[in-house]
């Protein structure tokens, strides 16, 4: 009986691994089957040789960096203020933060199109730069739960109130406290939220497609309409990018724990 109980977690883990890995293995095998006589990386070579691949990925990477920057500026002061000064407002903020997980992105982007079309007082969709701004705003909203949770967890792990009081006694202003005291202590948490944001933005399709922006998600869909093996290669590349981001989060967390142990 005890032996069966020990085997049960391993059985569940094996079934979960098969459920997760088999589709991935099948996709990878298909992406290597461009040649009939055997496996090859021709699909990947075609993808990397395509100028649209470089331009779309570079565009999405730049939009992701802008999203991370704007999201950090928006979320960090908000979480800090709510945790230290306005704790009664925390349930309201958490409810608002969770809305992007409930409201579909297509509703968000249609709202943008209605509010900022060429017939509105702010016709942002009429120019490429305005559409880029709307895209960044949409991605900030879409990734708000991940960035908020990462920064909130980081502030919860440190004694932000004591650090703030000590810095205030020494004459530091609120902006100085936030940038030079709080930010370095939760940098790992911010990086975790940044990597999650990057992974979400790189693969997002709905908002970028309806705003007609040359992002990586619409590029994958466009390639999938005309070709067979290259979309599988792009799916594997997207998976690799996502897991690199997850690995960097784990690396940063491990580095943070080592630093904390050394400081102790």
Q: State residue 33's pLDDT score.
A: 79
- C-alpha to C-alpha distances, 26 to 21, 220, 229, nearest whole angstrom: 8, 18, 12
For 174, other C-beta atoms within 10 Å of its C-beta total 13
d(CA 249, CA 264): 23
Cβ atoms of 101 and 95 within 8 Å: the answer is no
For 136, other C-beta atoms within 10 Å of its C-beta total 20
Q: Is 91 exposed, middle or buried (0-12, 13-18, 19+ CB in 10 A)?
A: exposed
3-state helix/strand/coil string of the chain = CHHHHHHHHHHHHHHHHHHHHHHHHHHHHHHCCCCCCCCCCHHHHHHHHCHHHHHHHHHHHHHHHHHHHHHHHHHHHHHHHHHHCCHHHHHHHHHHHHHHHHCCHHHHHHHHHHHCCCCCCCCHHHCHHHHHHHHHHHHHHHCHHHHHHHHHHHHHHCCHHHHHHHHHHCCCCHHHHHHHHHHHHCHHHHHHHHHHHHHHHHHCCHHHHHCCCCCHHHHHHHHHHHCCHHHHHHHHHHHHHHHHHHHHHHHHHHHHHHHHHHHC
Return per-residue pLDDT of the chain as tens, 264 residues.
555 667 777 778 788 878 877 888 888 888 887 777 777 888 888 888 888 888 998 999 999 999 999 999 999 999 999 988 888 999 999 999 988 888 888 888 888 888 887 777 778 888 889 899 999 999 999 999 999 998 998 888 888 888 888 888 888 888 888 888 888 888 888 888 888 898 889 888 899 998 989 998 888 888 877 777 788 888 888 888 777 777 777 776 666 655 555 555
Task: Give pTM, 2 decimals.
Answer: 0.84
Which residue is it, tokens 């089957």? 33
Q: State residue 78's pLDDT score.
A: 92
């Amino acid at each position: 009986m005890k032996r069966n109980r020990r085997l049960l977690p391993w059985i569940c883990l094996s079934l979960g691994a098969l459920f997760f890995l088999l589709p991935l293995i099948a996709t990878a095998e298909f992406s290597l089957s461009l040649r009939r006589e055997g496996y090859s990386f021709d699909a990947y070579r075609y993808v990397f040789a395509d100028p649209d691949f470089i331009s779309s990925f570079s565009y999405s990477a730049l939009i992701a960096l802008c999203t991370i920057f704007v999201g950090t500026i928006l979320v960090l002061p908000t979480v800090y203020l709510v945790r230290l000064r306005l704790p009664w407002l925390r349930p309201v903020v958490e409810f608002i933060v969770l809305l992007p997980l409930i409201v579909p992105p297509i509703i968000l982007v249609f709202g943008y199109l209605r509010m900022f079309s060429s017939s509105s007082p702010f016709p942002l969709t009429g120019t490429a730069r305005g559409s880029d701004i709307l895209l960044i705003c949409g991605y900030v909203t879409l990734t708000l739960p991940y960035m908020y949770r990462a920064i909130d967890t980081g502030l919860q792990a440190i004694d932000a109130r004591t650090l703030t009081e000590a810095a205030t006694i020494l004459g530091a202003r609120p902006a100085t406290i936030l940038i030079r005291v709080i930010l370095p202590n939760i940098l790992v948490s911010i990086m975790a939220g940044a990597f999650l944001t990057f992974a979400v933005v790189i693969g997002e399709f709905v908002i970028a497609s309806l705003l007609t922006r040359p992002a990586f998600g619409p590029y994958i869909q466009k390639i999938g309409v005309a070709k067979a093996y290259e979309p599988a290669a792009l799916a594997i590349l997207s998976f690799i990018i996502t897991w690199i981001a997850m690995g960097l989060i784990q690396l940063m967390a491990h580095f943070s724990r080592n630093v904390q142990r050394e400081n102790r």
